Amino acid sequence: MINLFKESTIPDESKKLISDELLALGISLELFEKYSQVLVNFAENDNSNSSILNDNIILKAQELATSYYETIWDSCTHNEKLLLIDVADNLLINDKNKNLIQTLINKGLLKKDMSIELMNYSLRNLINTKFETDLEKEYLKVRKAGKWTNYRAPILLVIFAIGMFLILQENILSSVVTILPIVATILTAIIKISGILPGFGPSKPTATS
């Protein structure tokens, strides 16, 4: 393995990047050597400048390790996923999450240097481009499914109250004109609270909240 990096013509920065990306995976020596060969060959055939080359190496490493990342992502709890997303987005981590952070460090998904960081760049990229989006879709799907169930009773109660009010009035037309603004106000409040329409309702929770 030393010979592989020594004989390669790619920049030393790229050699270190390849090593760091793969060492974070905790894979066997045999697999480490295999993936290193793939990444070194890939880098040697890439004519990009050093900055773009390193970005391409990260994407290639992500491609090699995607199945592994998907497995460990699926093994994480909901709160662990939210915290990993926060770290990937460079958000400040709440002190209340110390136990959760330590759990993820023990799992090898986080590392602590000057700050809390993800295990490597390729995992960070996958979280930002796929896992975070998937989690948002899951959250929105669950929230949407629960909207009518949670707010069906108060809405039906409002409709029933309106019906009774109209029945008890002698001048129905006058009653309708009087009550419509009230109904509109009540329904608007319910919609805002429940998030039935896009743009209303609570936003996605985060691990730092």
Interval 52-84: pLDDT, tens: 999 999 999 999 999 999 999 999 999 999 899
Measure CA of the first residue to CA of the last residue in the chain; give whole Å: 45
Instruction: Show me where the domains of the chain are located.
Output: 1-71
Per-residue model confidence as pLDDT tens digits over 82-101: 899 889 988 767 767 889 99
Report the range of poorest mean pLDDT among 88-92, 122-126, 187-191, 205-209. 205-209
Q: Centre a 10 Å sphere on the Cβ of residue 113 and count the other Cβ atoms it contains.
A: 6
Tokens of 92: 């400040």
Tell me the C-alpha distance between 120 and 168, whole Å.
Answer: 69
Please say whether the beta carbons of 18 and 39 come within 8 A: yes
Q: Give the CA distances from residue 158 to residues 31, 42, 46, 167, 181, in Å, rounded to whole numbers and listed in that order.
A: 64, 65, 66, 14, 13
Q: Indicate the length of the chain as a whole number.
A: 209
38, amino acid identity: V
Calculate mean pLDDT across residues 13-42: 93
